[in-house]
A and B are shown apart, each in its own frame.
Chain A
Amino acid sequence: MPTEFAFKDAAAKNAQGEFETEKMSLSMGPSHPSTHGVLRLQLELDGEIVTKADPVIGYLHRGDEKIAENMTYNQFVPYTDRLDYLAPLANNMAYAIAVEKLAKLEVPARCQAIRVITAEMARISAHLLGLGAFGIDVGAWTVFLYSFTEREKLYKLFEELTGARFTTSYTRIGGVARDVPEGWTGRVLEFCDQFLPRLEECLALLTRNKIFIDRTEGIGVISKEDAVAYGLTGPNLRASGVALDLRKDKPYSGYEQYDFDVAVGSRGDAYDRYLVRGEEMRQSVRIIRQAVAKFPAGKWYAEDARKIFAPPKDKVLTSMEELIQNFMIVTEGPQMPAGEVYFEAENPKGALGFYVVSKGGGVPWRLKIRAPSFCNLSILPKVCVGAMISDVVSILGSLDFVMGECDR
């Protein structure tokens, strides 16, 4: 004999408007297609509405900062690839510039231009993935196929330049690993020429797509004040109407010589964040074209970085002095002065910062990584409340984070 359920009572209460739903606790992730990696959201739900969201991070924590304290500055470069692994070239550059600031080292114009070109290519590649994944999150599969076709072309260029497709480790402290191959910049321009029409095609699938607009417009609105208070950076900050771009406002690596516009949103919703990323790709193409057009001649490494940048291999094999230098750099690490520096670069996900504390010698005393995805995600408990579960998916897609960087 089944016990009598509370149906009657509940129905009566409902009629009087006293019906109370029971809060449900839902663990979303860490393995969930829309959490883009291993983010877990501990949600508290009232029906379909989120009443509380508690992000649980750290599933991809590898202790990068501890590892950095135990190896030389040069050895850490490959680890920076694995922060925002969708834009390793940009991470390498941010780390290299931070350590170069510590060493008071100026790299030549050609090296700066190479770094700018690769960083902007990395930005396009990262945004293309963000765009494709966002599309999938809200039900537009096609975009993913188009954007990945373009990424593949970029990966071919990365492979030709660095020897690797994904984790490139191309930048060195005091320069880059090698000069660009013959004709490579021409192929970059060819890519840009064919990319712009394909990008428009890709964006046209979403920008005026009724379903996409319904899923994103007015969803996950972040006000200007909140964006600044929570330390949001990058496209997520600009979509909220703050025209802050470190490439413009704190130029590094010669960004001041390039002409580009900073895309700024007005409402700070998921749709604005999508629009800002789309426009940033167009601007990146502009920057790449200018950088290739005035591509300077010269060395791709700082020649006064003799105790930091490993000498060319043929010299190491034939000349005693270079052999000794190479040996010292490999065994002792590049010798840095004592002191502390902080440097932030405008990466695809936002401002990636490195705070380096040195007590002299070849190993950092402390290396703090300020990860943009970490800061961008910290607003989730605020922005998810009141949203439907399906909107949470849209918000996560629009914030475009990478857990490798968030968890370090």
Chain B
Amino acid sequence: MPAAADAVAAVKGRWPGVGDRPSLDLPAINVPAADLLAVLAFLRDEHGFDMLTDIAGVDWGVEASPRFSAVYHLFGTASHEYLRVAADCADLAEPSLPSAVALWPAANWHEREAFDMLGIRFGGHPDLRRILMWDEYPHFPLRKDFPLAGVDTPLPDLAVVAETKVNAIAAPMVGGPFVASSGEINLTEAEPRAKDESWNEKRPKPAS
């Protein structure tokens, strides 16, 4: 039996809360957040999934419940097989999951990214700071309710502004992030591609 299918059977035997996850390619399981670390440790130590290749945070939509999940992709460097482990965050205003940094140092940056982009908090993470956006950034840009065009945000460090009294204002973006110039034509109508419709020249921007 291939290592991944074997591991799935073993995990399901040991943790009754674990269920199959529909998947088009790899063996995949859904794990309750409470069992997540134990399952990951078991897979790493007993079934040779020694590499954590990726953690992808997913927002399933504003109305969805549970709204946020983290999807872990494990790889066995000996068996050369992948396994997908998904865990839903408890449906709270502040979604959270236990941190896997103690199991894999690789989880450190992946979890920081999921926090930065989606606001999933990883309990027990040694240094849960933003990683791609700057530290003072107030939003979680990959959430589905965040507009593609972005929200005006004070760019500089607030402490620096207080010190220097210089407040840089971001360049205006007419109609969306892909538009470089403004002119007579209505760029919202001229722009052919899929774009953010939540605000445009006619409808005001949501307050940040």
Contact with A along B165-191 (1 / 0, CB 8 A): 000000000000000000000000000
Evaluate contact between A366 and B58: CB separation under 8 angstroms: yes
Q: How far is the CB of B122 from chain A (nearest CB, A)?
A: 15
Evaluate contact between B53 and A70: CB separation under 8 angstroms: no
Q: How far is the CA of A197 from the CA of B117 in the complex (A)?
A: 47
Evaluate contact between B106 and A58: CB separation under 8 angstroms: no
**Do A65 and B25 contact each other (CB < 8 Å), given the known contacts A229-B104, A374-B109?**
no
Total A residues in contact with B, Cβ cutoff 8 Å: 48
Evaluate contact between B82 and A342: CB separation under 8 angstroms: yes
Q: How far is the CA of A65 from the CA of B146 in the complex (A)?
A: 13
Q: Is A275 an interface residue (CB 8 A)?
A: no
Q: Which residues of B contact A231 (CB under 8 A)?
A: 51-53, 104, 106
Partner of B56, one of A57, A75, A229, A355: A355
Evaluate contact between A341 and B25: CB separation under 8 angstroms: yes
Q: Which residues of B contact A63 (CB under 8 A)?
A: 141
Q: Is A351 an interface residue (CB 8 A)?
A: yes
Segment at the A interface, from B10-18, B126-134, B155-163 = B126-134
Nearest chain A residue, comparing its CB with the CB of B112? A378
Q: Is A368 an interface residue (CB 8 A)?
A: yes
Evaluate contact between B194 and A72: CB separation under 8 angstroms: yes
Q: Which residues of B contact A230 (CB under 8 A)?
A: 104-106
Nearest chain B residue, comparing its CB with the CB of A374? B109
Q: Which residues of A contact B73 (CB under 8 A)?
A: 342, 353, 355, 370
Q: How far is the CA of A357 from the CA of B54 in the complex (A)?
A: 14
Q: How far is the CA of A75 from the CA of B84 in the complex (A)?
A: 27
Q: Is B80 an interface residue (CB 8 A)?
A: yes
Partner of B134, one of A58, A102, A342: A58
Nearest chain A residue, comparing its CB with the CB of B193? A71
Q: Which residues of A contact B51 (CB under 8 A)?
A: 228-229, 231
The number of A-B residue pairs with CB atoms under 8 Å apart is 110
Q: Which residues of A contact B106 (CB under 8 A)?
A: 229-231, 375, 378
Total B residues in contact with A, Cβ cutoff 8 Å: 41
Q: Is B205 an interface residue (CB 8 A)?
A: no
Q: Which residues of A contact B109 (CB under 8 A)?
A: 374-375, 377-378
Evaluate contact between A65 and B77: CB separation under 8 angstroms: no
Contact with A along B35-53 (1 / 0, CB 8 A): 0000000000000001111
Which residues of chain B from 64 to 98 have any CB-CB distance to chain A below 8 Å in the complex? Answer: 71, 73, 77, 80, 82, 84
Q: Which residues of B contact A355 (CB under 8 A)?
A: 54, 56, 71, 73
Evaluate contact between B77 and A244: CB separation under 8 angstroms: yes
**Do A101 and B24 contact each other (CB < 8 Å), given the known contacts A61-B133, A231-B51, A378-B109?**
yes
Evaluate contact between A70 and B142: CB separation under 8 angstroms: no
**Do A70 and B23 contact each other (CB < 8 Å), given the known contacts A242-B77, A244-B77, A366-B56?**
no
Q: How far is the CA of A57 from the CA of B24 in the complex (A)?
A: 33
Partner of A65, one of B23, B26, B53, B142: B142
Residue picked from B50, B71, B133, most chain A C-beta under 10 Å = B71
Which residues of chain A from 17 to 49 have any CB-CB distance to chain B below 8 Å in the complex? Answer: none
Partner of A340, one of B23, B132, B148: B23
Q: Which residues of B contact A408 (CB under 8 A)?
A: 132
**Do A70 and B196 contact each other (CB < 8 Å), given the known contacts A101-B24, A229-B104, A342-B54?**
yes
Q: Which residues of A contact B50 (CB under 8 A)?
A: 228-229
Evaluate contact between B196 and A57: CB separation under 8 angstroms: no
Evaluate contact between A366 and B77: CB separation under 8 angstroms: no
Q: Which residues of B contact A153 (CB under 8 A)?
A: none
Contact with A along B96-113 (1 / 0, CB 8 A): 000000001110110001
Q: Which residues of A contact B28 (CB under 8 A)?
A: 340
Q: How far is the CA of A375 from the CA of B110 in the complex (A)?
A: 8
Residue picked from A341, A344, A355, most chain B C-beta under 10 Å = A355
Evaluate contact between A339 and B104: CB separation under 8 angstroms: no
Q: Is A280 an interface residue (CB 8 A)?
A: no
Q: Is A249 an interface residue (CB 8 A)?
A: yes
Q: Is A324 an interface residue (CB 8 A)?
A: no
Spell out A's residues near B (CB within 8 Å). 57-58, 61, 63, 65-67, 70-72, 75, 101-102, 104, 226, 228-231, 233, 242, 244, 249-250, 337, 339-344, 351, 353, 355, 357, 363, 365-366, 368, 370, 374-375, 377-379, 382, 407-408
23 sampled A-B residue pairs with Cβ under 8 A: A58-B130, A66-B141, A66-B146, A70-B148, A71-B193, A75-B193, A75-B194, A101-B24, A230-B106, A231-B104, A339-B22, A339-B23, A340-B23, A340-B84, A355-B56, A355-B73, A366-B58, A366-B59, A368-B57, A370-B54, A377-B109, A407-B132, A408-B132
Which are the 9 A-B pairs with shortest beta-carbon distances? A231-B106, A368-B56, A58-B132, A339-B24, A370-B54, A249-B80, A378-B109, A61-B132, A341-B25
